[in-house]
Structure 1
């Protein structure tokens, strides 16, 4: 069972380690050190559910009703555009009600130049994370279809393959989120945060465009 487990681990990492809306969101929350545990848990659990659905053969159902992918594509594109607009607005006009990087203490804009960020509620953060995960049609194509198809080639070892892919997801999101705090020293100015938000906005718009143009 070790071979399919390692195969699932390798393929899972190769699919998930890429710049995307979900990874950027986890990275941003990690740098902010805000509601990070719920975010990592939502991403890892969501991936595990999708992987298990794919291995169980649910991907065949989506092949019968392909319009579900179309709905997810347009809903995901609309959400990414909205999220991109919010990131662009933060880049152009930072909020006044803010949170100091690396702490949980609200503060007003720091005249000394220390980076300050708006604090969001855990509910809003989790809902955003769920939307970025479940409204992304690529997650169904990669996780449900691709992983499910490859897992089926391992026969009785397909569940070991699924466990390996789940381990890859948990390890990646944990490393990305909890390791992002070490980037705080480079994001300790308002200008750096505005640049990060600008990059996030561009990536969100690009992904949304790719979803609309994909077939």
Structure 2
């Protein structure tokens, strides 16, 4: 028990440190929070998707020596296509906000952006796409965490459980933050700033992935 706790904590700390950067997956959670559409469903799907990748890394890829070149190339290609298309959609939203509504609070009128309805199926598929079509997610969760778990020998499973717990803690915290922001910062300026940031992030990540193939 004395050895298990530090191993569990090490896995949790590594997991949180790898996923806490505002990448495509986290930006998507924030956007769903601002839209106030299926936020907690998105949080659950993203956490479960990360747990699946962590399990794959700890139980399989670590022993196999990582992803094959062909599989990695296919993931990079799919990731570049997905990130480019989503970046273009975000850029279009930045240039042309789709709808405005007048919201009245305390007698004051202010413009807020009205999002197009998103079905549960669309929310689940989007969360899975951001989790599994992003090569960074595979590298961080499956490869890096899986490889790090080898250092703990028979404690690798405990390390993996800690990493999975770290993912759950992070996405719950991010969901709370997104819910809080969604209730207070639902304005045209905030949405346009987020869409502009997302477009640049997506295209920048796609270009970095393309350069990694050279």
TM-score range, shorter chain: 0.7 to 0.9
TM-score, length of structure 2 as denominator length: 0.88
| Residues 123-148 of structure 1, C-alpha deviations (whole Å, 9 max, x = no match) | 11221111111111122222112111
**How far did 1:52 drift?**
1.1
Match of 2:158 among 160, 173, 183: 160
Are the counterparts in 2 of residues 87 and 201 from structure 1 also a CA contact under 8 Å? yes
Match of 2:119 among 118, 121, 125: 121
SS of equivalent residue, structure 1 residue 188: coil
| Matching residue of 2:139 | 141
TM-score, length of structure 1 as denominator length: 0.87
Distance verdict in 2 for CA 1:189–1:141, change over 3 Å: closer
SS of equivalent residue, structure 1 residue 129: helix
Structure 1 range deviating more: 51-60 or 198-207: 51-60
SS of equivalent residue, structure 2 residue 112: coil
**How far did 1:193 drift?**
1.2
| Matching residue of 2:81 | 78
The alignment yields a C-alpha RMSD, in angstroms, of 2.1
SS of equivalent residue, structure 1 residue 57: helix
Residue correspondence of structure 1 range 43-192 to structure 2 within 5 A = 43-61=46-64, 63=66, 65-96=68-99, 112-184=110-182, 187-192=185-190
**How far did 1:92 drift?**
1.1
Match of 1:4 among 4, 7, 19: 7
| Matching residue of 1:39 | 42
Are the counterparts in 2 of residues 115 and 187 from structure 1 also a CA contact under 8 Å? no
| Matched length | 205
Match of 1:193 among 175, 191, 194: 191
Note the residue ranges of structure 2 that are not aligned, 5 or more in a row: 104-108
Are the counterparts in 2 of residues 116 and 190 from structure 1 also a CA contact under 8 Å? no
| Matching residue of 2:106 | none
Are the counterparts in 2 of residues 4 and 160 from structure 1 also a CA contact under 8 Å? yes
| Residues 10-34 of structure 1, C-alpha deviations (whole Å, 9 max, x = no match) | 1111101112100100111122221
**How far did 1:118 drift?**
2.1
